[in-house]
């Protein structure tokens, strides 16, 4: 579900087209236990970050409380999992996050462990920004355009879990994708997610 959290209320949003991401694909049997939360003002607007703005101070207080204690939506408690790219803003991390139903068989620690970097910790510490971007890419939206059979692609291993892969694509596949996306010409690059 999609939820707006204001300083005073919790409001459900939608319906929206079905979107997915690496997190929801990995834990597909629990996908209904996750909610996408955006922190907004009482009018549903994203506030400009400004320490002198009273609205922003109220929202920031609500964000901090929600991250620490979770939120309640229709009688269910949800715990913070990770920040997300905001669907309504160009800011990288903005005011959105994914939360998980606290009564779900899956727990937040299991999700965070799956998202965690599995490679060289020193390398991660040298390039924290890249690591954070890869973590956020795990919860970046995608919409399925075409499906591929296992014999139609090859997965090349990587010690980091990356949701946005790259590789070569056939002209036929690029043409089909461009048509489905209603592009005027065949695109030269696509973001591929499994």
The pLDDT tens digits of the residues spanning 15-73 come to 666 678 888 889 999 989 999 888 888 887 776 666 677 777 887 888 889 989 999 99
In angstroms, rounded to a whole number, what is the distance separating the alpha carbons of residues 3 and 39?
A: 9
Residue 176 has pLDDT above 90, yes or no: no
Query: Do residue 101 and residue 14 come from a single domain?
Result: yes
pTM for the structure as a whole: 0.70
Range of the domain at 160: 145-194
- Could you give the angle at the alpha carbon of 191 between the alpha carbons of 26 and 99, nearest 5°? 35
Evaluate whether 98 touches 111 at the Cβ level (below 8 Å). no
Where a domain ends, among 66, 91, 113? 113
What was the pLDDT predicted at 158? 58
pLDDT greater at residue 14 or residue 165: 14
Q: Report the domain count for the chain.
A: 2
Q: For residue 40, tell me if it sits in a domain.
A: yes
Query: Do residue 14 and residue 72 come from a single domain?
Result: yes
Q: For residue 127, tell me if it sits in a domain.
A: no
């Amino acid at each position: 579900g999609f939820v707006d959290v204001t300083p005073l209320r919790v409001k459900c949003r939608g319906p929206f087209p079905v979107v997915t991401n690496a997190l929801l694909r990995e834990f597909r049997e629990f996908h209904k236990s996750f909610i996408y939360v955006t922190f907004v003002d009482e009018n549903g607007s994203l506030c400009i970050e400004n320490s002198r703005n009273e609205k922003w101070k109220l929202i920031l207080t609500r964000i901090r409380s929600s991250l620490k204690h979770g939120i309640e939506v229709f009688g269910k408690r949800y715990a913070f999992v990770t920040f997300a790219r905001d669907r309504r803003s160009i800011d990288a991390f903005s005011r959105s996050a994914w939360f998980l139903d606290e009564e779900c068989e899956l727990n937040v620690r299991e999700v965070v462990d799956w998202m965690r970097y599995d490679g060289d910790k020193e390398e991660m510490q040298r390039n924290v920004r890249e690591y954070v971007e890869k973590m956020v890419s795990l919860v970046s939206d995608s919409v399925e355009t075409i499906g591929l059979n296992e014999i139609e692609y090859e997965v090349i291993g990587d010690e980091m879990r990356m949701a946005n892969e790259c590789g070569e694509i056939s002209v036929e596949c690029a043409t089909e994708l461009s048509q489905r996306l209603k592009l005027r010409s065949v695109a030269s690059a696509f973001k591929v997610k499994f």
